[in-house]
Each structure stands twice: as structure tokens, then as C-alpha cells.
């Protein structure tokens, strides 16, 4: 449940870097995603065919403030995105480090507070830092989107213990792993840990077969969610026979 909206798919898909509009269209359909992200810059560079794909996808549009490096820039971009896409949902990115693309926590909280006061439903791209998460919730966010690893790195869940701690610390807040996911197995692992969704782009868009990879991620996210609900077997220090000894034949 994200700001009162319930989704059947827990995969959110980015729309950048695909080899062609037709591949993007097919990948969205194959993924089963119900939320797709798009940046204002991408929309400005794309033509009518891109807008047509967005409209025909049947997905909810989640505009983002990708490329913004200050709270003021992010707020302005979000305001423009709301006018263009007709939605108060916004994925808030405020980049603070050029190499890692790590978010600036101070500018992020500032922008989140301003946008929440203006009625935006803010999806903040953040780290696994618990204090930053607390401040974002105080600013009005009802969703947190911690990174798995730096954007486009494909490293997966780089700090699993910290992410597990975040999940435990915010049991009632929807948490979406955003960025760094490079393989379906990594997305499945995030869902097995109890995260509510996974957002990714590069791993699908840059695959040899983006459509097949989109389908693989959709299935992996569903499988991981089902496994979490079913209850994963806890690890043991010692072996435990699955077949009982009682009733076995005795050889004499």
C-alpha cells in the first residue's frame, strides 16, 4: 500500500536507456509492473511515441527528480513534473556525491518537507541510515526508498545487515529497494527480507534481451514476496536429517 494505493505487482520499472521504444513497450508489459518511473528530462527529450507508451502501459507514472543536486532544484522539478504528468506522486532524488550518486540527506529532508506541505506524495531515494529515515517520515514521507547499492552498479544488497535493521526499525512503513539491483536473484533476496517492492532500471534496459530480463525480474519479485509470506526456513548450525531414523530397517 503506497499512499492509499494498493498494487498487485511489487516491481517498479524505470524507462531510461532502452534500445528502442518498441523494446521499452514490450519490457513494461513482460515485467507486470504497475508503476513506471520517468524523469522530467527524459520526457523533454522524448517525442510523442514515448508519451504514447506511457499512456498505453496502464501503469501509474512515478515522475522523478533525477539529476537534481539541491533542494531548490528538486522542488522546482517536482512542481513541473506534477503539471506535466498530472500526478502528485514524486520520486525525490537529491544527489550529494558525484561518483557514488549518494543522496544528500540534508537537502533530501528539506525538499521532502517542502513537497509534502504542498500535497506531494513523496517517495524519497535515500540510504539505509535510520536517522535520515526518521527525519524523512517527520517531514511527511509515508514511504522510504533505501538504495541497495549505488545507482547502476549492479552490486545488489551491499549492506544487508543495515537494510535488515531498517526493515525492523520501520515495520509499518513501506520500504522499496531502489538502485543497485543487477540480477533477479538480488531482487528476490530483497523481497525475502520483507521489503515491499523493488525499483530498478539499468539491469533490464541494458540486458542482451530486455524483455526476457523484465519477465525474469517480475517473476523473481513475486517469488521472493511469496517466500517471505510463507516463512523462510531459518539457518541451522548443525545438520538435521529430513528422514526420521525411527522405522528404518536394521541390518544385522
- Positions annotated as catalytic residues are 91
DSSP 249: P
Write out the DSSP string of 195-231. Answer: -SEEEE-HHHHTSSSHHHHHHHHHHHHHHHHHHHHH-
DSSP 100: T
| Distance in angstroms (rounded) separating the CA atoms of residues 1 and 156 | 24
Name which of 189, 213, 218 is nearest 12 in CA terms. 218
The answer to whether the annotation marks 152 as part of a ligand binding site is yes
Residue 151 dihedral angles phi and psi, to the nearest 5°:
-55, 130
Is residue 132 within a helix (H) or strand (E), and if so which, with residue range?
A: helix 130-138
The answer to whether the annotation marks 64 as part of a ligand binding site is no
Q: Are 205 and 211 in contact (CB under 8 A)?
A: no
| Distance in angstroms (rounded) separating the CA atoms of residues 232 and 230 | 7
Is residue 161 within a helix (H) or strand (E), and if so which, with residue range?
A: helix 160-169
Residue 197 dihedral angles phi and psi, to the nearest 5°:
-165, 170
Enumerate the β-bridge partners of residue 159: none
For residue 36, give Cα distances in angstroms to 155, 197, 201.
Answer: 22, 13, 10
Annotated binding site: 152, 179-180, 201-202
Annotated binding site for 1-deoxy-D-xylulose 5-phosphate: 152, 179-180, 201-202
Amino acid at each position: 500500500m503506497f499512499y492509499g494505493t494498493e498494487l498487485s505487482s511489487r516491481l517498479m520499472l524505470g524507462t531510461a536507456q532502452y534500445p528502442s521504444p518498441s523494446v521499452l513497450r514490450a519490457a513494461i508489459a513482460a515485467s507486470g509492473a504497475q508503476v513506471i518511473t520517468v524523469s522530467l528530462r527524459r520526457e523533454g527529450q522524448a517525442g510523442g511515441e514515448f508519451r504514447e507508451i506511457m499512456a498505453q502501459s496502464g501503469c501509474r507514472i512515478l515522475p522523478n527528480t533525477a539529476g537534481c543536486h539541491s533542494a531548490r532544484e528538486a522542488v522546482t522539478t517536482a512542481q513541473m513534473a506534477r503539471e506535466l504528468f498530472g500526478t502528485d506522486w514524486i520520486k525525490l532524488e537529491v544527489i550529494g556525491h558525484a561518483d557514488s550518486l549518494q543522496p544528500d540527506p540534508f537537502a533530501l529532508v528539506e525538499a521532502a518537507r517542502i513537497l509534502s506541505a504542498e500535497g506531494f506524495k513523496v517517495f524519497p531515494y535515500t540510504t539505509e541510515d535510520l536517522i535520515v529515515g526518521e527525519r524523512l517520515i517527520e517531514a511527511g514521507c509515508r514511504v522510504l526508498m533505501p538504495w541497495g547499492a549505488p545507482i547502476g552498479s549492479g552490486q545488489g544488497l551491499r549492506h544487508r545487515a543495515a537494510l535488515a535493521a531498517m526493515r525492523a526499525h520501520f515495520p509499518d512503513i513501506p520500504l522499496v529497494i531502489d538502485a543497485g539491483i543487477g540480477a533477479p536473484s538480488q531482487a528476490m533476496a530483497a523481497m525475502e527480507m520483507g521489503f515491499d517492492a523493488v525499483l530498478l532500471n539499468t539491469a533490464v534496459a541494458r540486458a542482451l534481451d530486455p524483455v526476457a530480463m523484465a519477465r525474469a525480474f517480475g517473476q523473481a519479485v513475486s517469488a521472493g514476496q511469496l517466500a517471505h509470506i510463507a516463512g523462510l526456513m531459518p539457518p541451522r548450525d548443525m545438520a538435521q536429517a529430513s528422514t526420521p531414523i525411527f522405522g528404518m530397517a536394521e541390518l544385522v
